[in-house]
Amino acid sequence: MNFRQKLNFIVVKNSSLLCVGLDSDIEKIPEHLQKEHYPQFSFNKVIIDATHDLVCAYKPNIAFYEAGGLSGIKQLFKTCEYIKTNYPDVVLIVDAKRADIGTTNVGYVRFIFDELGADAVTLHPYLGQEALQPFLEREDKMCIVLCRTSNPGAGEFQDLMVGDEPLYLHVARRVSKEWNKKDNCMLVVGATYPEELAKIRAIVGDMTLLVPGVGAQGGDVEKTIKAGKNSKGAGMIINSSRGIIFASNGEDFAQKARSEAERLQMEINKYR
């Protein structure tokens, strides 16, 4: 089963376009878990168990694990393995934002796809298609390319005019029309920019988009869905991280995370 088949199955099974970002900042994990041997994994495990039937994907951001050195990397491995073993239908996206020359990317491919077992990875487009070819050759996996990111300073480069349109639209067109020969490309488009999201949707057709920025970053769910859904009322993986996993920092964190995930899942479905 390739990425697209897996995603389509879980979207229908769980009636969900929601992705939970496992941005498990060690400093924000509830105090009662801090004494655990692997506190990030212990936290993630409970979050995953509490929300697995409400989501289509989980997305650990690799930075929060690399910050812990060897222990953090072990906890990333344990988190990925836990998802794959216990909830194999749920898509696993590793948010690594990788990009380098081709020979270096071979190492990233092996680590993220073969060692961690991820279904998808986030990538920078700046080095071009040739450099990302080791990722693009993996037709069973998904390459999620940054296009219009959710951060406030996104426009510094992404809005620069190239000919008669901004750079981010060139990225959308190039990735969707030229890089996607194996049907294994997606784009990252922030919920904080619904007008730009609508323009990208018009270019890429029914291509699936990873949409961060709802929840703590302030993206509006209704505007996001109306701007970004495809002709089938789907075509989006909508990510919320802090707004779900840190809905509470007490011993009720799992229940609060589930409640927030369920609320967001229902709100997304309301506008599909």
Q: How far apart are CA 94 and CA 121, in angstroms?
A: 5
HSE (side-chain half, CA atoms, 13 Å) at 246: 17
pLDDT at 219: 77
User: How many structural domains does the chain have?
Assistant: 1
Dihedral of alpha carbons 194, 144, 244, 86, sign: positive
CATH number at residue 189: 3.20.20.70
Q: How far apart are CA 79 and CA 82, in angstroms?
A: 5
pLDDT less than 50: residues of the chain: none
pLDDT at 217: 67
Dihedral of alpha carbons 95, 101, 102, 106, sign: negative
- Return the active site residues: 97
Q: Using an 8 Å Cβ cutoff, are 186 and 209 in contact?
A: yes
Please work out, in degrees rounded to the nearest 5, the angle formed at the alpha carbon of residue 238 by the alpha carbons of 260 and 119.
110
Is the pTM higher than 0.95? The answer reads yes
Q: How far apart are CA 197 and CA 264, in angstroms?
A: 19
Of 258, 201, 248, which is closest to residue 226 (Cα–Cα)? 201
Q: Using an 8 Å Cβ cutoff, are 138 and 184 in contact?
A: yes
Q: How far apart are CA 220 and CA 194, in angstroms?
A: 8
Strand spans (E) along the chain: 18-22, 57-60, 91-98, 120-123, 142-148, 161-162, 165-166, 185-189, 209-211, 236-240
pLDDT at 213: 85
Domain that holds residue 127: 3-270
pLDDT at 1: 85
Of 169, 232, 224, which is closest to residue 202 (Cα–Cα)? 169
Start-end of H helices in 98-150: 102-109, 129-136
